[in-house]
Amino acid sequence: MAQLKLASSASQAVVEDRGGCRKEHGDVLMQETTISISSLPSAVRAVLERTAVLDIHTHLFDPSMGSMLLWGVDEMLTYHYLAAELFRARPDLDCETYWRLPPAARADLAWQELFVRRAPVSEVCTGALTVFQALGLDPNAETLQEARAFFRGVRLEQHVDRVLRLAGVERLCMTNDPLDPDEQTAWASGFPRDARFLAAVRLDSSLLGWPGAVPRLRAMGYDVEEALSGMTMAEIRRFLEETCVRMDAQYFALSLPPEFSYPEPQSPAVNLLTHAVAPVARQLKRPVALMIGARRGANPALRLAGDSVGTADLTALERLVCDFGDVRWLVTTLARENTHALCVAARKFKNLTPFGCWWFMNNPSLIRETTRMRLEMLGFTFVAQHSDARVLEHLIYKWSHARKIIAEVLTERYAALLETGRRVTTADLERDARALFDGGLVAPDGRAE
Ligand code: HDL
Ligand code: ZN
């Protein structure tokens, strides 16, 4: 039995082998080595650690897009997830008073109330300390003075390289809203692209709340009317195609409320989805990502932190995916109650790929439950995770925490295989990890979109 000793550094696996064929794999000699039950946990963890990720959904931006890319300790501690938790820790705190504070004061307040005066056990608090630890900052600091001094000395270009390396993220997709004024300025003037920051056309502001987008679309030169009549659908298709080409976007994305219905009654957004987005996605061979279940503005006083969740009837999704069988649909759902139905729908429709543990689902207990369910029902035909990172350093904790849990669940599944007598090799681990972490942008038969 070959003994597999994986070096602590992810970049090199040292293998002693008395059998099996050796083969080059990059700078690492990989083995068709059967892994024993005792070495399985460490082998799975090591493979996931060194498997580069395409993070298919983030709110990060190419560093060339300037201040649109959020980074640093104050951005981390004023993240809307933490704001929501601060209002719970300090119910006496008036929301508008908080929003009027300068970011540093908001960050100090969060640090004192959530990290110093209480054990920071929530996922987003623990996550912030995972980032502190990775960057060599003191998680027991009484104030943010040391952390701020560290970030004052940061050169963004090097910091981006360091954060992506620490997070094991090779490439990531931005969330690009073509109607956002800052985005319009950036794309109109052009900027040197960082190849690691891929684009994704987010259509919420264009399609949801129709006809709210009509004035901005007309100002961009698209002859659209509120009534979706005349040239409007053709002009929306032109808008989508031109935007996707300009951004070299990987996919189109739209979030949908829990009550979305198809085919009837069709909201203007779903009408536009089926008559404009799906045809252009088909023509450009781009997937469409649907993010279902967000109830926006449940508590407007919390602003971005005020969105909630609703359970969707995924019958509508199944009908949509069935009617557009030649379009690839990447889907994530926000309600825990939708996780199982999404797995079943994916079993029915090969053009439907579940992705990630989105937002309120991105917690250890739910990543574990979701990944178990998906492996049990879909094998490796899903995208295990996306970070949804809003602040650059989020990548470190969101991927560190996710990899740990996905490794535990994967180990369970491989152990069940070993019990049947089926061998599990390092080649199995490498291939399967790539399938889970490739962002779903490679078609199931291996063709790139
Ligand atoms: O709609 C989305 O893409 C969500 O991810 C929202 O941006 C949400 O506010 C968020 O950041 N979730 O993590
Ligand atoms: Zn998001």
Task: Render pLDDT for 70-120 as a digit per residue (tens, 0 to 9).
Answer: 999 999 999 999 999 999 999 999 999 999 999 999 999 999 999 999 999
Nearest to 187 by CA among 70, 283, 68: 68
The torsion of the CA quartet 315, 318, 319, 321, rounded to 10 degrees, works out to: 160
CA end-to-end span of the chain: 41
- The best mutation among 59, 70, 76 to test binding of ligand 1, ranked by most ligand atoms within 8 Å of the C-beta, falls on 59
**What is the average per-residue pLDDT within 284-304?**
98
* Residue 13 CA from chain centroid, whole number: 29
Q: Which two tokens stand for residue 72?
A: 């640093």
As a whole number of angstroms, the distance between CA 247 and CA 351 comes to: 24
- The best mutation among 366, 388, 395 to test binding of ligand 1, ranked by most ligand atoms within 8 Å of the C-beta, falls on 388
Going from the Cα of 59 to the center of ligand 1, the distance in angstroms, rounded, reads 8
Residue 442, pLDDT score: 64
70: β partners: 391
Among protein residues, the one with the nearest Cα to ligand 1's atom 1 is: 255
Among protein residues, the one with the nearest Cα to ligand 1's atom 10 is: 359
| Residue range 111-162, pLDDT digits in tens | 999 999 999 999 999 999 999 999 999 999 999 999 999 999 999 999 999 9
Q: Do residues 134 and 392 touch, judged by C-beta distance below 8 A?
A: no
Residue 449, pLDDT score: 43
Give the three-class secondary structure for 271.
Answer: helix
Q: How many residues does the chain have?
A: 449
Q: Which atom belonging to ligand 1 lies closest to the Cα atom of 388?
A: 13
| Residue range 350-401, pLDDT digits in tens | 999 999 999 999 999 999 999 999 999 999 999 999 999 999 999 999 999 9
Nearest to 62 by CA among 175, 188, 210: 175
Going from the Cα of 330 to the center of ligand 1, the distance in angstroms, rounded, reads 16
The torsion of the CA quartet 200, 270, 309, 179, rounded to 10 degrees, works out to: 40
Going from the Cα of 81 to the center of ligand 1, the distance in angstroms, rounded, reads 10
Query: Is it the case that residue 174 has pLDDT exceeding 70?
Result: yes
Going from the Cα of 57 to the center of ligand 2, the distance in angstroms, rounded, reads 6
Among protein residues, the one with the nearest Cα to ligand 1's atom 8 is: 359
Going from the Cα of 359 to the center of ligand 1, the distance in angstroms, rounded, reads 6
Say if strands 329-333 and 308-309 run parallel, antiparallel, or are unpaired.
Answer: unpaired
**Which run of H or of E encompasses 55?**
strand 53-55
As a whole number of angstroms, the distance between CA 33 and CA 423 comes to: 9
**What is the average per-residue pLDDT within 213-223?**
98
Q: Which two tokens stand for residue 161?
A: 């390289």
Burial class (CB in 10 A: 0-12, 13-18, 19+), 196: middle
Of the CA atoms within 13 Å of residue 136, those in its CB half-sphere come to 4
Going from the Cα of 181 to the center of ligand 1, the distance in angstroms, rounded, reads 19
Query: Is it the case that residue 346 has pLDDT exceeding 80?
Result: yes
The torsion of the CA quartet 426, 432, 438, 444, rounded to 10 degrees, works out to: 140
Could you tell me what percent of the chain has a pLDDT over 70? 91
At position 176, the amino acid (one-letter code) is N
Query: Is it the case that residue 16 has pLDDT exceeding 60?
Result: no
Classify residue 171 by its DSSP letter: E
Query: Is it the case that residue 13 has pLDDT exceeding 90?
Result: no
445 contacts: CB under 8 Å, gap ≥ 6: none
Q: Which atom belonging to ligand 1 lies closest to the Cα atom of 204?
A: 1
Please give all residues whose beta carbon lies within 6 A of any atom in ligand 1, as ranges.
59, 255, 291, 294, 304, 307, 359, 388, 390
391: β partners: 70
As a whole number of angstroms, the distance between CA 397 and CA 134 comes to: 9
Binned at pLDDT 50, 70 and 90, residue 32 comes out as confident
As a whole number of angstroms, the distance between CA 41 and CA 230 comes to: 60
Largest CA distance in the chain: 72
| Residue range 398-438, pLDDT digits in tens | 999 999 999 999 999 999 999 999 999 999 999 999 999 99
As a whole number of angstroms, the distance between CA 28 and CA 12 comes to: 5
Could you tell me what percent of the chain has a pLDDT over 90? 89
**For all residues of the chain together, what is the average pLDDT?**
93
Going from the Cα of 58 to the center of ligand 1, the distance in angstroms, rounded, reads 9
Binned at pLDDT 50, 70 and 90, residue 26 comes out as very low
- Strand blocks (E) in 157-267: 169-173, 197-202, 249-256
Q: Which ligand is nearest to the CA of 294?
A: 1
Q: Which ligand is nearest to the CA of 204?
A: 1
- The best mutation among 124, 332, 359 to test binding of ligand 1, ranked by most ligand atoms within 8 Å of the C-beta, falls on 359
Residue 266, pLDDT score: 87
As a whole number of angstroms, the distance between CA 341 and CA 277 comes to: 24
Q: Which residues, by Cβ under 5 Å, contact ligand 2, an ion? A: 388
**What is the average per-residue pLDDT within 44-68?**
98
Give the three-class secondary structure for 329.
Answer: strand
Residue 265, pLDDT score: 85
